[in-house]
Structures are given as structure tokens and as C-alpha cells.
Amino acid sequence: MDIVEETPHRFRIDRHGPMRVPGVVFASRDLLPRGGEALEQVVNVATLPGIVTASYAMPDVHWGYGFPIGGVAATDIDRGGVVSPGGVGFDISCGVRLLAAGLTASELTRPALERLMDGLGHATPRGMRRGAVWHLSGPGELEKVLTGGSRYAVEAGHGEPRDLERCEDRGAVSDADPGQVGVRALDRGLGQVGSLGSGNHFLEVQQVDEVYDDAAAAAFGLRRGQVCVMIHCGSRGLGHQICTDHVRAMEPDMARHGIEVPDRQLACAPVGSPRGRAYLGAMAAAANYARANRQLLADAARQVFAKVTASPLDLVYDISHNLAKTETHGVGGEPRRLCVHRKGATRALPPGHPELPPGLGPFGQPVLIPGTMGTASYVLTGVAGGPAFASTCHGAGRVLSRHAAVRTVPGKELRDRLERKGIAVRAGSWRGLAEETPEAYKDVDAVVGTSEAAGLCRKVARLTPLGVVKG
């Protein structure tokens, strides 16, 4: 496959074969994917009906299900554009929540950190365990979670009204349709709300190590040296089952719409069709579940912080990086109504955008980029005129499979290595810890630096870990 270097941070794959638009990869030479699988997926996405401008890939791009992880694609809703579950992924509305504490790292002694991590480890269900924060009374209450998201969780006493101001969509997607969520998905979701899960999900205690923009950081509620809590998780088994169910439903239905795709994992349906609307309604319900999930985990962390440190935890922001949203963007000099798929990519609203929360208008939307264990995480913000429909990266980007990562380092050895760096570790399993070794990922500093150089975002602050809870 020919790939053209347009700038040191932008590469182009010209249209060929059934591609409707070119492919655009934001990366450096060092960050381009190893092997051709992810780039081939960029090409395949460019064949989707109704796609506009380009099939985009972020600097953390790597191979995924149908779409690459780190992929962004927008389809024109009014001109035959489709929605594809592969463009959202199995962990619907997987995202990040960041909370800022009322104390600095210098005020948190090592014994206090150990007590804090013990409390957070006990209060954070993870791995395959059921949620322990909120025992839903039954399907009726689960439906309220699916329609109300963080809003319902706050109403039920698990949070503060201010939390909703600093959450994407004010805590809930409005067009959720629980009726499009299958019985198996509902069954899986009933016992998992308020749990972290496994894989690359985590709860991390961090400190603000560096501030690049004092004014934006202050508006976000951050200051140098401050202790923070970052939570990374999604919609658990419910979201996974919704993706599975709707891919299966769309695949045999494509021929009726005259749709052909080069990979069955790109199964899709016109946005306005019954199948398309059904998926979007179920996806929105899963997004609300994910937001409620992070709300509950944050509420549990607040209780631990209050007990151990007497410090409050204020929400900085909550943002998804696996979602499809209806948005209006300029295409060919005119506004178009688009279905924007972001899979392993984060929405990054620029300063002045009407959807920004109160007080953030001059600074843009907080963008939360988790790193890997033992490395940095970042807070970014959107920029005016950013390409790729106001999107940026979502993390470091995997380079080793979990199986390969386990062969790299034993879990106990990794724990000891992190502890020697002063990072307190609470692991659900040694294998799960080894699967997430930093060697399995790209350099998050390089990914963020390339994203900024490509004009996708702007750095606000860098955070480094003090302690981590893993599944």
C-alpha cells in the first residue's frame, strides 16, 4: 500500500479501488502502525456509503474490529450515510473521568497513600466481579440507568449536581432506547454497574506533574502538584453484547440496501433505516450505562478520600472515546448533518463551541488521555479549526497483544518495578497486570506530542501516577 508523507505529522493514502474518500493518518514515522492491518482497515472504512472528507486515523492507531482503534469516520446522514457498530466498538462509551482532590502530593504521606490505595482497592469491583456500589432492584431500575445515565445516578444519591455540568451530554444521551437492548445484554448489565472491569481499565491516583496552560488548567480545576483520580472504564458486558447483537442483525440486511463492504466486521445500515435507528438507540443506552458506571465508581472513590484524607473530589470532566454522534460540520463549504464515528478517539470541542460547560467557553473542552501504568496521562483541550471533525487521540495505543505482553514480564516483577518507582499497585490478578505492561503500548508522550503538532489538540497538563487499581 502506498502512503504519502504530506507533513511530518500527516500521511495520506490516495483513493484506489472502491474507496470513496482518501485515508489520512496523523502520525510520525515512528508512530505509524507496525504491519499493514491497521492501515488496511483505514482503507476499508473509506469504502463505507456516505463517508465524507476522509477515513482518519489518530497517532495511537492500531488494529481493531472492522474499524481501526484510533479511527474517525463521518457519514452524511441525509445522503445515504451509514452507521457501523464496528466504528464504535464493543466497549460502547468507554471513556475517562478525572476528579481533582483538595490536597497536593506533598501532603499525601506514603502511609496515607497506602491506606488510600487499600480503601480504593476494596471499594472498586474489578475483573469479572459484579458491581458492589449499587445493587439494582431489577430490570425496571436498569432501564432508568439506560435512559438516565449519570443523571439518574445523581438523583439516586450517587454524586453531586455539579457533576452533570462537567460530563459529556450533561450525563446522558437523550435518544436512548432500552427497547433495542436484547435480553442477554440486559442480563449481563444488571449486575455489573459500578464495576471497573479488566483489560486496560483502571482507577489511578495521580499528581499534576506539569502545567502547560495555567489559565486553562485553572478553569478545568487543576493546579501543579494536585492529587487527582482518573477512572477509565466503559459499558462492560452490556455494551459488548449490544455490539454483537446489532452486527449480527445488520450483516444479512445490507444486501437489501445495496451495501457491500470489504470486511464483514464493517456491517452497517443507513442511519435513518430501522436497523440504523435500532442500533443508535441501543448504543445510546449503553453510553448512559457507561456514564452511570463511572459516576458510581467516582462516588465510591469520594467516600474513600473523605475517610482517609478528608479531601473532596471535584469532577474535572467525563468524556467517551467509543461513540457515534450526530453532529453538524462543514463539508464542501456547507453545513452537513453527519454521523461521526469515534473509535478509540476523543471528541475535542474548540473554544467557543456552544456545547461547552459554563466557564469553559474561552478554553475549549477538557480531553482526557490515559497513559499506561508507570507513565504519564494528559489533559488536553480542543483547538479552533481542528481536522477530523474535532477529534484527537484517546491513549497510548497498543503495540503488543495481551498474550505477547504476558511473555514480556511476569506480573509480580512488574508490580515490584512499579513499587520501586513509588507507585502503589493494587492488582486483581498477576496476569491481568502483566497484560498491561508499559512495553505493550506506544510512547504516550510521543502520541500526545504528535497529536498537538498535527493540530488536533493542545496540551494543558501532564499527570503522573502515585497508585493504580487494576482488574
What residues are labeled active site?
394
Contact in structure between 219 and 378 (CB atoms under 8 Å): no
Instruction: Give the separation between CA 79 and CA 272, rounded to whole angstroms.
Output: 10
Asked if 165 and 151 count as a contact pair (C-beta separation under 8 A), the reply is: no
